[in-house]
Amino acid sequence: MSFNFAPPPRTAQALAPTEGVADRRRPRLLLSAARHGLSLYRRDRDLPRLLTLAESRMPPLDALFTAEARIESARRTGAATYSFARHIEVLIALLAELRLTLHA
């Protein structure tokens, strides 16, 4: 199973919020942990804590895609700053926000 967490391309037409979500791969354990944490997600508590100041000024999905891409880059390069727990937290928020968008 593969997922793309890069932001969807912007065009003049409105795109579905999950367009392009299935192009990039993430480790199965990472996604499984994120899915298990979905029931504990609280937008009012978790979203502000997960985003940087610059990201917090963006729409939530764009900000989460940006944050996840940054964390994924750190994971792939083996950076000492990579945090598995932080990556899961951002993925939980991203999956939850995608669900909210799809059910709105």
DSSP label at 39?
A: G
Q: What is the mean pLDDT of residues 24-34?
A: 90
Residue 5 in domain: no
What is the span of the domain harbouring residue 90?
Answer: 28-102
Number of H helices, E strands in the chain: 5, 0
Residue 39 in domain: yes
Q: Which amino acid is at 23?
A: D
Residue 21 in domain: no
Confidence of residue 98 (pLDDT cuts 50, 70, 90): very high
The three-point CA angle 94-100-101 to 5° equals 90
pLDDT tens profile 33-56: 999 999 999 999 999 999 988 888
DSSP label at 40?
A: G
Domain count, the chain: 1
Residue 23 in domain: no
From 41, 42, 63, 61, select the one nearest 52 (Cα to Cα).
Answer: 63
Choice between 32 and 8, residue whose per-residue pLDDT is larger = 32
User: Distance (Å, rounded) from C-alpha 78 to C-alpha 83?
Assistant: 10
Residue 22 in domain: no
Q: Is the pLDDT of residue 4 over 90?
A: no
Residue 62 in domain: yes
